[in-house]
Amino acid sequence: RQNDRLAVSKLVSSLTRGSVRSPLAQCLLIRYTSQVIRESSNTQSGDRPFFDYLESCLRHKAEMVILEAARKITEMDVTSRELAPAITVLQLFLSSSKPVLRFAAVRTLNKVAITRPLAVTNCNVDLESLMSDQNRSIATLAITTLLKTGNESSVDRLMKQITSFMSDISDEFKIVVIEAIRSLCLKFPLKYRSMMIFLSNSLREEGGFEYKKAIVDSIVTLIGAIPDAKEIGLLHLCEFIEDCEFTYLSSQILHFLGNEGPRTSDPSRYIRYIYNRVILENPTVRASAVSTLAKFGALVDELKPRIFVLLRRCLFDTDDEVRDRATLYLQTLNGEVAVGNSEKDVKEFLFGSFDVPLANLEASLRTYVCLQWAFHVACFK
């Protein structure tokens, strides 16, 4: 009968007046009580029923009951005064000798910090002591909580502490830290330099694909959100693709570089990094680099002669895709292939997105191979 609101309310009302001895039963009662409070707050005004019971559970002798009550209070839409007792007991658990209590407390505070960072700031001293905790899960949660609650003046100090911490944790935890750093940088954009340097150094370290992708995505996000970070961010990405083992990331960065690089103060500085990919990389990355070069040639007139020279060299590539792209872009930029009536049409051809679902295109091409009539793009839009 757990879906019967009246029955659950009566059960909670009778049990909260009595004495439930089992801590496990008490935890279950706390969950039902919080459910009744949430449902009542949607339909009634004034004081929440049974909230005093939850507050009394914060003084229970069983640790699991205290944690459950604190967790449920933090999940509710409560005032700062009502939230304070729960934060206080969680802060006490941060210095517990039991790892499970420290983990439960810091995980709950981490969730609270997402929506109520000011409520957790009093715990910052205790959280900083957990950064060196032997349990890496606890240390990671402590750091990400500090990143959410920190102010602009504490950013540099936190970044120094995190640098020494990152080498001791797995990629899974590193990704959590990277995402927290990205959020902090968006919160304090004036501190982008120190965070960009940290992200760049992280790219040079050992790590798997998901970890490196999280860093690249963070840099791309910061470039889009903070105009002053564009040039330094692009240079960090260029340095990364000089020694990048992941084809997907190299192609993604080259595409982004082709869109943003020509609009910087000195587009020529990126040409060397791009053409190095044509010389040193696999066919997929080489093809992406050719497209990127063409974008620079289309937008930066003073670079067009140099781009033509580089594209002509690509005509002798061993891969068909690279040669075909180089031929197409050379003729397009020279005006030998008609893609429109103006220079704007040429740029739209080079920079425009392919707004056709690839799955539909593949299915239509498979059908076309078996049929007699002519293929038309309207068939799969």
Contact (CB, 8 A) for 29 and 20: yes
How does the average pLDDT of the chain come out, rounded?
A: 83
Q: Which residues of 140-165 are buried (b: 16+ CB within 10 A; e: fewer)?
A: bbbbbbbbbbbeeeebeebbeebeeb
What pLDDT, on a 0 to 100 scale, did the predictor assign at position 240?
Answer: 92
In the predicted structure, residue 285 carries a pLDDT above the cut 90: yes
What pLDDT, on a 0 to 100 scale, did the predictor assign at position 350?
Answer: 63
Dig out the tokens for 260 from the structure.
Answer: 């943003």
In the predicted structure, residue 339 carries a pLDDT above the cut 60: no
The DSSP line for 11-45 is HHHHHHHS----HHHHHHHHHHHHHHHHHHHHH--
CA atoms of 119 and 131, how far apart (whole Å)? 20
CA atoms of 202 and 222, how far apart (whole Å)? 16
Residue with the bigger pLDDT between 252 and 77: it is 252
What pLDDT, on a 0 to 100 scale, did the predictor assign at position 50?
Answer: 73
Q: How many CB atoms lie within 10 A of CB 7?
A: 11
pLDDT tens per residue, range 186-242: 888 888 888 888 888 888 888 889 999 999 999 999 999 998 889 999 999 999 999
- Residue given tokens 């692009």 in the structure block: 234
Mean pLDDT of 288-298: 91
In the predicted structure, residue 251 carries a pLDDT above the cut 90: yes
Q: Which residues of 341-378 are buried (b: 16+ CB within 10 A; e: fewer)?
A: eeeeebeebbeeeeeeeeeeeeebeeeeeeeeeeeeee
pLDDT tens per residue, range 102-148: 999 999 999 898 888 888 888 888 888 888 888 888 888 888 888 88
CA torsion 139→140→142→144, rounded to 10°?
160
Q: Which residues of 94-104 are buried (b: 16+ CB within 10 A; e: fewer)?
A: beeeeeebbbb
Dig out the tokens for 154 from the structure.
Answer: 């504490």
Mean pLDDT of 92-108: 91
Q: How many CB atoms lie within 10 A of CB 49?
A: 17
In the predicted structure, residue 247 carries a pLDDT above the cut 60: yes
Q: Lowest mean pLDDT of 60-69, 109-118, 162-171, name the range.
A: 162-171
**Which residues lie below 8 Å from residue 134, measured CB to CB, with a gap of 6+?**
none
Mean pLDDT of 173-193: 85
Residue with the bigger pLDDT between 44 and 380: it is 380
Burial class of residue 79 (count of CB atoms within 10 Å of its CB; 0-12, 13-18, 19+): exposed
What pLDDT, on a 0 to 100 scale, did the predictor assign at position 123?
Answer: 86
What pLDDT, on a 0 to 100 scale, did the predictor assign at position 271?
Answer: 93
- Which residue type, as a one-letter code, is found at position 11? L
What pLDDT, on a 0 to 100 scale, did the predictor assign at position 151?
Answer: 75
pLDDT band at 77 (very low <50, low <70, confident <90, very high): confident
Listed in sequence order, the DSSP H helices in 124-170 are 124-130, 136-149, 155-166
What pLDDT, on a 0 to 100 scale, did the predictor assign at position 107?
Answer: 92
User: pTM of the prediction?
Assistant: 0.76
Percentage of the chain surpassing pLDDT 90?
Answer: 25
CA-derived radius of gyration, the chain: 29
In the predicted structure, residue 1 carries a pLDDT above the cut 60: no
In the predicted structure, residue 348 carries a pLDDT above the cut 70: no
What pLDDT, on a 0 to 100 scale, did the predictor assign at position 6?
Answer: 63
The span from the first CA to the last CA of the chain, in angstroms, equals 51
CA atoms 221, 222, 228, 233: torsion sign: negative
pLDDT tens per residue, range 17-60: 667 778 888 888 888 778 777 777 655 555 566 778 778 888 88
